Amino acid sequence: MAATQNNAADSLRLEKITKVFPSHSGEGEVKAVDAVNLTIQPGEFLTLLGPSGCGKTTTLRLIAGFEMPTAGRILLDGKDITDQPPNKRDMAMVFQSYALFPHMSVFENIAYGLHLRRLSRSEIKSKVDETLGQMGLKGLGDRRPNELSGGQQQRVALARSLVMEPRVLLFDEPLSNLDAKLRIQMRSEIHRLQRRLRITSVYVTHDQIEAMALSDRIVVMNKGQIEQMGTPSEIYHTPATRFVADFIGRANFVDATVIEQAGSRLVVEVLSRRYTVPVRFDYSPGMPIVAMLRSESLTLCADESLPQVVVEQAMFLGSEVEYIVNIGGHNIVVVEQDPRGKSPIAEGQRIGIDFAAEAIHLLPA
């Protein structure tokens, strides 16, 4: 099965897309998506990430044609498809609920869309057999969906979309019904297939690990708007707002006092020590700021010259130990990776806390 070749400069573009729904009370309106501008490059895997109600699923449904925008345009390779029905958009959707036909075999489920395209029997058999092999479903073509495991059903749902060779592949939280082990397995499968086929893909999830593992870029949404867009590394290490920093990974927010400014760098005091760090926003003298510290960038060690904390809680999690420590009445989460051969620090113990200047990311308070 060959991936669709996209030759246009932009594969998929949203221009000031807005969707307004009536409120549940019947009075007023709710703006689910608010003037979103977004360009998805050919072959890119882009994830819409955010909490429930942020607008990510509505944005996906607008792209698919299941919802019509209140304002704005959707373009596929330069062509305006805003008013086109879903079956005319050359897209395929992998649903959260699998949406398989229970009375059809695996083969018939995968072949369904090809029959609608009126392909010959030999073409359909060739394409379906090839897709069954690619998805690790060989020998299961005669089974019904209820005879399959959850992971196998999700593979069938993915195969049914891939066999159509769509220009754009859409995913609506496809792994949320699987257990933890199967999620990791299917996540790896989706990543492998998309990288090989290079189908332009838009994926919706509230799972930050899923988003970082799969994506070329992540779009973090909040209240119908894009809060930040970037690579997984950019989103994680240099969040643009406190919302993004708090939503992605485990972050501690501690007070930071500006001592002096030197060009694009600030000398700041964080937990009673001074550091020189870059500032990545429009800072003006007197502006209150906060320092974000990722939990895994902090170290606990028996050094009395360091700021002292009290261990409130220690939780052994196998590959890591998670500590909640208290300093000056504030709790901070510290994660120690790979704690083999070491006993967790006892709760109630007083100990030093350390981190490098590179671990500090400044944000407007």
Task: Identify the H or E element spanning 122.
Answer: helix 121-134
For residue 345, pLDDT beyond 70: yes
- Average pLDDT (291-304) is 94
> At 131, is the secondary structure helix, strand, or coil?
helix
* DSSP states along 42-82: TT-EEEEE-STTSSHHHHHHHHHTSS--SEEEEEETTEE-T
For residue 54, pLDDT beyond 70: yes
Predicted TM-score of the model (pTM): 0.88
Report the range out of 94-103, 174-183, 195-204 with the highest average pLDDT: 195-204
pLDDT digits (tens, 9 = 90+) for 3-44: 444 444 458 999 999 999 988 777 788 999 999 999 999 999
- Average pLDDT (102-126) is 91
pLDDT of residue 7: 41
Decide which of 9 and 277 is more confident.
277
All structural domains of the chain: 12-242 (3.40.50.300), 252-364 (2.40.50.140)
Q: How far apart are CA 333 and CA 322, in angstroms?
A: 7
Q: Which of 26-30, 98-102, 296-300, 345-349 has the lowest mean pLDDT?
A: 26-30
Decide which of 14 and 340 is more confident.
14
Q: Which residues pair with 13 in a beta bridge?
A: 39, 75
Q: What is the mean pLDDT of the chain?
A: 90
pLDDT digits (tens, 9 = 90+) for 139-186: 899 999 999 988 888 889 889 888 888 999 999 998 887 888 888 888
pLDDT of residue 10: 53
pLDDT of residue 6: 42
Strands, sheet with 289-294, edge to edge from the N-terminal-most edge strand: 273-278, 265-270, 251-262, 289-294, 360-364
Residue 277 in tokens: 């760090």
Residue tagged 């209820």 (tokens) = 146
pLDDT digits (tens, 9 = 90+) for 212-228: 999 999 999 999 999 99
Under the banding of pLDDT at 50, 70 and 90, the label for residue 91 is very high
Q: How far apart are CA 361 and CA 234, in angstroms?
A: 12
